[in-house]
Structure 1
Amino acid sequence: MLILNLIIVLLLFAGLHIMKRKEVSFGKRILFGLFAGILYGAGLQAIYGLGADVIKETVSWLNVVANGYIHLLKLIVTPLILVSIITSILQLKDIRTFRTTGLTIIGILLFTTLIAAGIGAASALGYGLSAVGMPAGDAELGAAQKIETKLQGFQAASIQEQLINIIPTNVFHALTGQGQADTLSVVFLAAVIGLSILHIRQYRPESAEFLQKIVVYGQDIVMEVVEFILRITPYSVLALIAKFIATSNVESIMKLISFVAASYTAILAMFLVHLLLVAIGKYNPLDYIRKAFPVLSFAFTSRTSAGTLPLTTHALEHDFGISKGIANLSASFGISIGQNGCAGVYPAMLAVMIAPTVGIDPFTLPFLLKLVVITAIGSFGIAGVGGGATFAALVVLSTMGLPVGLVGLLIAIEPLIDMGRTALNVSDAMVTALLTQRIIGEADAAEDALGEARAEA
């Protein structure tokens, strides 16, 4: 039976290859891979039953494509962040322009996270979620113990130490992505290098030009790898979603279906906020959905905001026409700051759900205001990979004085919720880029008009 299952997978892959040769659009191929994977995974579970040996063997081969692809994405993320931010800074006129663009992006990311936290809390209250009396099995208790251990390590470092840890002491170690604040460390390193070259340009332009060429050559190599990743994305989407559907425990998911429903209600509500912001920014929301769909669908299946970074920057530049500087900065900042799904909606929902277990009324205004503010501030530095939401929950729950171990109760449905959260994270980064482009563009136009008026006077 294993051979038959693999033959079917190869036939589906062949279908995707034929679609590519016939120049079927990337979005349609992603959509085909998504639905083909759902049907294939559901078929495996329906025929063999959950946990069957033949499913495990089939999934082990699917993992060659699925996990191999994720590894490839993780490989390219750090160099992509590094060269993207450096080149983004070098395309700016001066350091003052960088401050304006960077602060605008960070401001929008935090503003949307503030809204996301409010929506998450409202959804949890609306569904009447509560962890009081919720049963915990062995898996949940084991997860709770791991989370408690993780919190102890987190609390061992003060806020000042956590800020200091963003500054890498070893360039090469920071680039390996093994540090506690690895993503922000790379962002910091890229900003320092970019701003240094920008400053050198003022008094030694020939050196700055040489350094800029080195960065551009490095970016050419990185982007060539990104192009290869894009070409194999539809195949990975099929494998990822098939693996998820074939191995999902429907009974476990049904136990906490209310939390799933509340989560996706909040996610969809926040996505509508994104569309509203897009409209305010004078973009067509339907056009945004059409162009963003391939990127968001991959984020949904892969569950990694950082891994989706190559697709995000590519879509912003080529499909939305966003300048390379703003596209790279928004996408790169978006995987470590803000994150509407993982660092906004999810921690706020958990706080509302867990509060009654320690006798706190989540309906009180002081509790809700404190929750929303802490969630937004705590969204700094959340890693854009699997597990980032758990870390965000640790920050918010511990700051609110709530028991973090109860997060382990949700382990059975974590993958299902994480899919929607990740897509929302990536959408936030894309919307931020659109709004920043509009704000910066209008500011530049106003400055040009003022300059012309002064010249005429």
Structure 2
Amino acid sequence: MSSYTTVIINILAMLALVYSLYYMQRKGVNFGIRVMVGMVLGILFGGVLQSLFGGSSTIIKQSNSWFDLIGSGYVRLLKMIVMPLIIVSIISAITNIKDMKILGKAGGLIIGILLFTTAIAGLIGAGSSLAFHLSAEGLQVGEAELGATKSVEGKLTAFQTKPIQQQLIEIIPTNPFYALTGQGSADTLSVVFFSALIGIAVLSIKQSKPQSAEFFMKVMKTANDVVMQLVDFVLLLTPYGVLALMTKFVSTSNYADIYKLIEFVVASYLALILMFIVHLIILSFMGFNPFTYIKKVIPVLIFAFTSRTSAGTLPLTIEALINKLGVPSGYANLSASFGVSIGQNGCAGIYPAMLAVMVAPTVGINPLEISFLLKLVIIVAIGSFGIAGVGGGATFAALVVLSTMGLPVGIVGLLIAIEPLIDMGRTALNVSGAMIAGIASSKIMGEMDTETYHQEILETKTM
């Protein structure tokens, strides 16, 4: 059988799986169940392709290039609506605020919660490395790892040319239209900043120019309705996107590399699970049923897991916070938007802390010393805020922590082979951390709609 024919068969098999998900949708199967089924089908189908052809084969590459029409196409659709969603949602939320003091308190509270949970994540990450006795001393360096290490060191040099103050200043866009293109290093936060200023400006003219303010608010309400309908259209495709993304990941994974570093993978996921349990404990302390939270956000976390993009998951995060968890629009948009770059529990908390503990013995530092661990947790928390201005997720977070602690950064390159596998869990935890910040902040401020949080999940026409 020719490779061309084999690729055609693979495409037909994917289409059959897509149709099975569509059939479930027509039969009214719950949206969350369809997303989970899509993930399981992707794992199984990807595993079959991997076992038959090998992850680096031409057949796999050609097949995935067609599967990308669904997987990457869906991710691009989500990214397409991120900026319009941020603009209309934040402007609408701010213009409906009666007291400007609430806005400042809410933003500060959300950032504080994100940094606090990241500090806890850092402590858990360090503890996981210590419990598994992980060390960088035993890692073997191959040609690929050497190349990755040089690349990482180059990024560190570029990163260190800008102090944290400059990185934070760059959140203020000199050209908001450029920020809207998503090309800048802090584009998401720049758009949040610009949208917030517009909202504040509208509030300031309510007294002096009430007609202009009222007209603008009506326009934004209309735009918000249109954008949210667009979000509903895109979210309807989630099960299919998850199916294609998981198929591609499993079919192209290098199991040999994963096996060599399996202990680090296990330690990482144990830390991620423990931090997620911390999220549930926080909910319990605030009077919320953690199992209700899991049931309502599982589709969002599954997509974050398979897509490995917090920014791409943003529309799903905001939708879940508002419509399923009862978080007011303003809190939902701020926490979700801040959570993309600030206080990422997985990428900026657990990961760099684990690497710091692994590297410390190579330079004669005892990672069990209280002073070392205390300094590490503080740097992890503060460093997670500094990452906001540069982008780059876990890599830059690790560079910040390791370089600030005076530790070698080469380990970031040594772990490059298993980076995608760990990044899946990290991204899901990042998104959960952002949602916890939204729930906790709105609850503390007395703005939470607890009835929406506790009510049963109802299947809608879009889900």
Q: Verify: 1:273 aligned to 2:278, yes or no.
A: yes
Greater mean alpha carbon deviation, residues 287-296 or residues 373-382: 373-382
Q: Verify: 1:357 aligned to 2:346, yes or no.
A: no
**1:411 to 1:242, Cα distance in 2 relative to 1, 3 A:** same
- The CA distance in 1 between the partners of 2:297 and 2:324, in whole Å, is 9
Greater mean alpha carbon deviation, residues 419-428 or residues 218-227: 218-227
- The CA distance in 1 between the partners of 2:36 and 2:120, in whole Å, is 30
Equivalent residue number for residue 299 of structure 2? 294
Q: Verify: 1:63 aligned to 2:87, yes or no.
A: no
1:170-199 deviation digits (Å, cap 9, x = unpaired): 121121122222222122112211112122
- Pick the aligned partner of 1:329 from 327, 334, 346: 334
Write out the 4+ residue segments of structure 1 that deviate beyond 3 Å after TM superposition.
381-387
1:118-169 deviation digits (Å, cap 9, x = unpaired): 1011111111111114112222211111111111111111233222212111
- Deviation for aligned residue 1:367: 1.0
Q: Is the 8 A contact 1:183 1:381 kept in 2?
A: no
- The CA distance in 1 between the partners of 2:296 and 2:67, in whole Å, is 28
| % same residue | 60
- Deviation for aligned residue 1:94: 2.1
Q: Is the 8 A contact 1:335 1:384 kept in 2?
A: no
Q: Verify: 1:113 aligned to 2:118, yes or no.
A: yes
- Deviation for aligned residue 1:376: 0.5
TM-score with structure 1 setting the length = 0.93
State the secondary structure of the residue aligned to 1:168: coil
State the secondary structure of the residue aligned to 1:177: coil
- Deviation for aligned residue 1:370: 0.8
- The CA distance in 2 between the partners of 1:349 and 1:234, in whole Å, is 33
Equivalent residue number for residue 348 of structure 1? 353
Count of aligned pairs: 445
- The CA distance in 2 between the partners of 1:323 and 1:254, in whole Å, is 45
- The CA distance in 1 between the partners of 2:357 and 2:418, in whole Å, is 18
Greater mean alpha carbon deviation, residues 361-370 or residues 266-275: 361-370
**1:375 to 1:288, Cα distance in 2 relative to 1, 3 A:** same
- Pick the aligned partner of 1:104 from 95, 103, 109: 109
Equivalent residue number for residue 22 of structure 1? 27
- Deviation for aligned residue 1:282: 0.6
Equivalent residue number for residue 454 of structure 2? none
- The CA distance in 1 between the partners of 2:154 and 2:224, in whole Å, is 40
State the secondary structure of the residue aligned to 1:307: helix
Structure 2 gap ranges (5+): 1-5, 450-463
1:230-279 deviation digits (Å, cap 9, x = unpaired): 01111010000010000001110011111101100110000110010011
Q: Verify: 1:257 aligned to 2:262, yes or no.
A: yes
Q: Is the 8 A contact 1:304 1:385 kept in 2?
A: no
- Deviation for aligned residue 1:59: 1.1
Equivalent residue number for residue 10 of structure 1? 15
Q: Verify: 1:34 aligned to 2:55, yes or no.
A: no
- Look up the equivalent residue of 2:48 and give its one-letter code: G
- Pick the aligned partner of 2:418 from 413, 420, 440: 413
CA RMSD of aligned residues (A): 2.0
**1:164 to 1:222, Cα distance in 2 relative to 1, 3 A:** same
- The CA distance in 2 between the partners of 1:154 and 1:263, in whole Å, is 26
- Deviation for aligned residue 1:12: 0.6
- Look up the equivalent residue of 1:375 and give its one-letter code: V
**1:329 to 1:241, Cα distance in 2 relative to 1, 3 A:** same
Greater mean alpha carbon deviation, residues 249-258 or residues 399-408: 399-408
- The CA distance in 1 between the partners of 2:30 and 2:390, in whole Å, is 28
State the secondary structure of the residue aligned to 1:169: coil
- Pick the aligned partner of 1:207 from 207, 212, 217: 212
Q: Verify: 1:128 aligned to 2:138, yes or no.
A: no
Q: Is the 8 A contact 1:299 1:305 kept in 2?
A: yes
Greater mean alpha carbon deviation, residues 48-57 or residues 390-399: 48-57
Equivalent residue number for residue 324 of structure 2? 319
State the secondary structure of the residue aligned to 1:441: coil
- Deviation for aligned residue 1:218: 2.8
State the secondary structure of the residue aligned to 1:50: coil
Q: Is the 8 A contact 1:322 1:437 kept in 2?
A: yes
- The CA distance in 1 between the partners of 2:350 and 2:176, in whole Å, is 34
Q: Is the 8 A contact 1:355 1:402 kept in 2?
A: yes
Q: Is the 8 A contact 1:303 1:386 kept in 2?
A: no
- The CA distance in 1 between the partners of 2:307 and 2:67, in whole Å, is 14
- Pick the aligned partner of 1:82 from 81, 87, 101: 87
- Look up the equivalent residue of 2:253 and give its one-letter code: S
Q: Is the 8 A contact 2:185 2:391 kept in 1?
A: no
Greater mean alpha carbon deviation, residues 149-158 or residues 33-42: 149-158
- Deviation for aligned residue 1:443: 10
